[in-house]
A and B are shown apart, each in its own frame.
Chain A
């Protein structure tokens, strides 16, 4: 039973355009959400997070939006760069706990 889902296994975007990666969750107890970026042969690297008390968090080119009623979050990358090409994992947790539940990942390819 996947509690965190990333329905798009891959996404291709032109350099300079916006990349939008989506994530859905089913567990209403989740109240903290994270995005991780993973290059081949490396471990996941923390990118950005958002608490359920917010609906938006921005860090440079990266913005995460949270829609609690829809149990949906998205990561926007603007402008996209070739170096952003990686697998992006959405993760969720109950903030009082320490167990992250991951989505299956979305492979982003940014074309020059």
Chain B
């Protein structure tokens, strides 16, 4: 059973398009995250939600909008995609807002052409 699952795993799209990446966790966690791994392979947090409420919003363009319909889901919508948005996006979850161990999904490879 996949604990943190995200879809799609691979996505190739044109500049200017709007796309979404979905994430679901079945661990019963109440905190979910989106991380971005850029071309230099650094993993950086984008957003964090606890019980459907936004608690971390790093410096991310407002073209990126997370949506959490419930505690088990955190979707990432990206509007007006740009070439620089090409990256691997990882969804993650943890127990509690200060959960010390964060569990990651397998990643979504986004390529903007």
- Shortest B90–chain A CB gap in Å is 5
In the complex, the answer to whether A43 meets B104 with C-beta atoms within 8 Å is yes
Question: Would you list which residues of chain A between 50 and 71 have a CB under 8 Å from chain B?
Answer: none
CB of A99 within 8 A of CB of B56, answer: yes
Q: Sample 28 A-B pairs with CB under 8 A, ordered by A number.
A: A34-B100, A41-B107, A42-B107, A43-B90, A43-B92, A43-B105, A43-B107, A44-B43, A44-B90, A46-B102, A46-B103, A87-B41, A91-B43, A95-B98, A96-B98, A98-B31, A98-B33, A98-B50, A98-B56, A98-B94, A98-B96, A98-B99, A98-B102, A99-B45, A100-B102, A102-B42, A102-B43, A104-B40
Q: How far is the CB of A58 from chain B (nearest CB, A)?
A: 17
Contact B43 A93 (CB under 8 A): no
The answer to the question of A45 belonging to the interface, with a C-beta cut-off of 8 Å to chain B, is yes
Q: A43-B105, A98-B56, A99-B48 are in contact. Are A49 and B98 (CB under 8 A)?
A: no
Determine the chain A residues whose CB is within 8 A of the CB of B4 once the complex forms: 43
Q: Closest residue to A94 on the B side, CB-wise? A: B98
Q: In whole angstroms, how far apart are the Cα atoms of A12 and B82 in the complex?
A: 37
Query: Given A98-B48, A99-B56, A102-B42, 17 other A-B contacts at CB below 8 A?
Result: A34-B101, A42-B107, A43-B90, A43-B92, A43-B104, A44-B90, A44-B104, A46-B103, A87-B41, A89-B43, A91-B43, A93-B100, A96-B98, A98-B33, A98-B55, A98-B96, A98-B97
CA separation between A112 and B100, bound complex, in Å? 35
How many residues of chain A have a CB within 8 Å of chain B? 23
Pairwise interchain contact A104-B42, C-beta atoms closer than 8 A: yes
Contacts of A104 in B (CB 8 A): 40-42
- Distance in Å from the Cβ of A60 to the closest Cβ of chain B? 17
List B contacts of A105 (CB < 8 A). 41
Q: Which residues of A contact B (CB under 8 A)?
A: 32, 34, 36, 41-46, 49, 87, 89, 91, 93, 95-100, 102, 104-105
Min distance, Cβ A17 to any Cβ of chain B, angstroms: 26
Closest to B99 in A: A98
Nearest chain B residue, comparing its CB with the CB of A32: B100
Most buried by A among B31, B48, B104, B105: B104
